[in-house]
Amino acid sequence: MKFLVTGGAGFIGSHIAEGLIASGRGDVLVVDNLSVGRVENVPKQCKFYQCDIRNTQKLSRIFKTVDIIFHNAAFVSIRASFDTKLLREELETNCIGTLNVLEASVKARVKKIIFASSMAVYGQPQYLPVDENHPTLPISPYGLSKLRGEYFCRIFQERFGLPAVILRYFNTFGVRQGVSDYVGVITTFINQLLKNRPITIFGDGKQTRDFVSVKDVVQANLLAAFSDINGTFNVASGQDISIKTLAVLLLKTYGRGRIMNLERPHGEIDKIRARLSKIRRELGYKPTGDLAKDVSLLLEWWKNKS
């Protein structure tokens, strides 16, 4: 078989590419425009194409003979999506880019597409834990763009017979996650500590999140790819932790540091935790992450990197 990972030089995409290589199920192609991703993240066994998913002609050529697409290329940030200077780029990448990927997949007669969506499609949870039937009422432009991508996938499945699996990632963390003011709170906290800066918490820190190891995100992608089942699934740990508790855990693990509270920005939810009964039942997903252990290992990785 032949697999293609869009955004495969990025954080999650490069781990999916690694997982596919390790599975030994076929050849792996990677597409990335390197706006955020890095060439060194791409496994050496992969064939790499520097290409923006907004380039329809180049996509069509690359997609020929591909069997399964893992679509992870995206403008990823809830907070940054409110910036009007970045909004057009987000819409073009997450909406038009996804449409281009789907059109190229149909032309190439791709057997299945795995679409990386987000918990941001739910908006402010009406109940916990959040299951896949929860109303989708995004409160950020980013969440809206991911929801549109989901609808595109469903339309192409119904209209053109392109099987689609939609994976709603929760707060993913792990090695190779980029340092940013907008995404990856665990990575952000670790780098603040290593630079002897205070851990910055937006608001009082009582807001909760469901953190999932990138290893489990890879597990979900491979299960989805090699299953005959389509549909929409939460990808998470099924556990929640407050941002303040997370910060305290990191301070204890590192051995020093302090917390500084900042004004909470727009577009962020209060509490969220995923229900995983559907993905467990239908795909056999079993989250393996241990937050305290994984955070400690990630801290050591960043120490060695810096």
Active-site annotation, residues: 142
- Cross-strand partners of 105: none
Other Cβ atoms less than 10 A from the Cβ of 278: the count is 17
Two tokens at 114? Answer: 């795995």
* Per-residue 3-state assignment (H helix, E strand, C coil) for the chain: CEEEEECCCCHHHHHHHHHHHHHCCCEEEEEECCCCCCHHHCCCCCEEEECCCCCHHHHHHHCCCCCEEEECCCCCCCCHHHCHHHHHHHHHHHHHHHHHHHHHHHHCCCCEEEEEEEHHHCCCCCCCCECCCCCCCCCCHHHHHHHHHHHHHHHHHHHHCCCEEEEEECEEECCCCCCCCCCCHHHHHHHHHHCCCCEEEECCCCCEECEEEHHHHHHHHHHHHCCCCCEEEEECCCCCEEHHHHHHHHHHHHCCCCEEEECCCCCCCCCCCECCHHHHHHHCCCCCCCHHHHHHHHHHHHHHHC
Two tokens at 87? Answer: 């909004």
